[in-house]
Structure 1
Amino acid sequence: MFASKLLTCSALLMLSGAVLSQKFISLADAEFKIPDTSSEHPSQETSSTSTSTSTTSTTTKKPTTSSSTSTVTPLTSSTTSTESPKTTTTPAPVTTTTKAPPAPSVGTWNASCIVLQMAAEVNFTYEAKDGNFTHGLYNIPSTASIEDSDCTSQTIQFIHLNWGPETSKQSFLMYFDKKNDTTELSSIQIHLNVLTEDFPNAKENQTIQLIHRGAGEFKTPDKMSYHCTRVQKMNLTETLDAKQLIGSISVRDVQVEAFLAANATGFSVVHDCDSSETSDVVPIAVGIALAALILVVLISYLCARRRSTSRGYMSF
């Protein structure tokens, strides 16, 4: 009886164990049937439990603002591309509107103590009707007459030319100085009335005073005439002490002589501007020095040769 009960209990225990094992197996199989979330989030690994899978899906969700921020364009790019840089323009300098005169002709003037021959053109600045300043060209006429001259002084002499109508006389003066038996130009003074018939765009009733301070021009020894065919340009200012240039005068084919003797009939011996101003004493002195040097070298050579010859005889 006891044995049969024992067998019955053992059979029940084995049966219950088998049932439990089948349940566990079914539960294990059921875990593998959980829906796969890897299709939604391919970057996350599949977990072994349903709780871990749900947690992973919530943490790897992509932000929704990434697509919208990538399409935003700065407003400044469109505004700067449409604006054009502002440019400032400076007014061009006023140029001469008057017709340039022909080349000046050569004139000759004789004031007994000063004989002058030249062609001169003046380039100066004047005020136009619009208030701007422009350049004008004016030729000293070859038909100008001698207004005055000073032949009494033996240190300073001048010649004064004028031309034009009586109501608006133009004038040209040249001063010469004599120092240490040398004559040179000391100054030029020009007085011009800017007439509308010569300069139509000029402001009316305008007078120009032009002065040049001499700086060794037309320099020549005493009793010789200065001669130069090439163009020479000299600056002009308003006064002798002024530094601001307002023009220039160009002269060519110049021959002039001041401090002439009373009985002179024309120009003296010509001193050309392109000739050498070196005194004749210098080349003469250089020639004498070279001759003396050659003589010394020759004497030294002869003395040395004589000594060598005498030593040769003594050796015998």
Structure 2
Amino acid sequence: MFPYALLVLFVSLGTEIQWSHATVVSVNGTDGKLCLYAELMMNFSVTYDIGGDKTETVVFELPDKVTTDGSVCENTISTLKLNFPTGHTWTVTFSNNSDKTYQADAITFEYNLSDRSFFPNSISNETVSVTVNKPIIDVGMDTCYSCKSQVVLPLGAQLASPGSLPGDAVWQTLWNVLIQAFVSDGSKSENTTPCAADATADPTTAAPATTVAPITTVAPITTVAPTTTVAPITTVAPTTTVAPITTVAPTTVAPTTSAGNATTEAPGNVTTAAPATTTPTTVPTTTPTPTMPPPVTGNYVIRPDENSTACLLANFGLRLSFKQGEQKPLEMNLDPNGTVASGICGQNTSDLVLTSDTITLMFTFTNETNKFHLHALNVTGGVFSGANSNLSLWQAAVGSSYMCNKRQSFNITDSLTLYTFDLRVQPFAVSQGVFSTAEECFLDSDLSFLVPIAVGVALSFLIILVLISYLIGRRKSRTGYHSV
């Protein structure tokens, strides 16, 4: 299983990206038979130095065309090595346990910083190697490890040290994974061992007992105190049918006739038409489609380690809206209940990653000339996927926090919109684990009421100007005629 199954779903890059293909590889042993099989989708987020005490973060996916040179199959140890240009490798080492299970002892990612197609403006030409230990454990022999959920793995030894650069911080995301090491008889097994994330997502499947393997030099994962909230339910307005109006035809009483006498109406019995009977008319009522309630405000805290005070604070309610052509946009609120916060704190770059069962958001903040702002946002989760790495939002001085209680909306891509409620963030220089003095957004400031006043004054002046011009024009037209 993935010990890091709490980190589900992750990032996409730059503009909106739809991950649509998988990398599929097969490794044969010396006997020519299949000994190792892998089918997976993966991307990487790498933060690297670009000089001047500045860093840059790029995200790229594993190509679907790779080579497996260097892969080895043995009885107790197997190695899967994927090579892709230029000079990048991704390696998994598997071991066969005595309890009829196998595991991935380590995943190592080597990336070449001299490859300017992946790492523009890099000041280094080195090849960097980062590793995460025991990311997959307790996989039954003769079964495939299966994980459809997206799982984020932090790699590297430079992930979080307060007041320092994050260096080459690396995050790796895998999903739609199907791997089998130690294949017997040359045929991939049809049986699977699901990851904990998939088992948790399916309420009918009990999550297997998993021993959490230790991780070396990884930024701590801080779990936010859960806040109970009810997911909004969108109700389609019912169609109201108006009951038909039914009118009974009038009935006339026949006159009484006596032999030899003139026909007369029976005394006291005047022929009358029965009154028309009308059924009550149902007044048509329309049930309005309920609007989505405001999202619950989540309180998210990042600490360098369990014994340290907070280095990043964020409080906000979040809503995402995704537009699909001419259809009504899909909306969802981020539920703080069960959302896990993780990330890194650096001197010039800090990351906040929020992961729930359905979606993951990665906020990247940068510090430039003692002012911070939100530089990039990466969102992955079903249709709610998109990214933008050229933002300049939530700006404030380092040593203070940014606050905006009013609702704000930000177009991340042409299709994806982010709404914030009761926002307050401080990604740098947090003192004693509490927010510093806030710099308010314009909507919260006392000057915001001047905008409608200024607009009203401008419109009034324009109306007066048009009226004066009209009167002057009429007066000039009259002076052009004289009586003879």
Give the TM-score taking structure 1 as reference length: 0.50
The structure, 1 or 2, with the larger RCO (C-alpha pairs under 8 Å, 6+ apart) is 2
Higher strand proportion, which one? 2
Bigger-Rg structure (1/2):
1
Give the TM-score taking structure 2 as reference length: 0.33
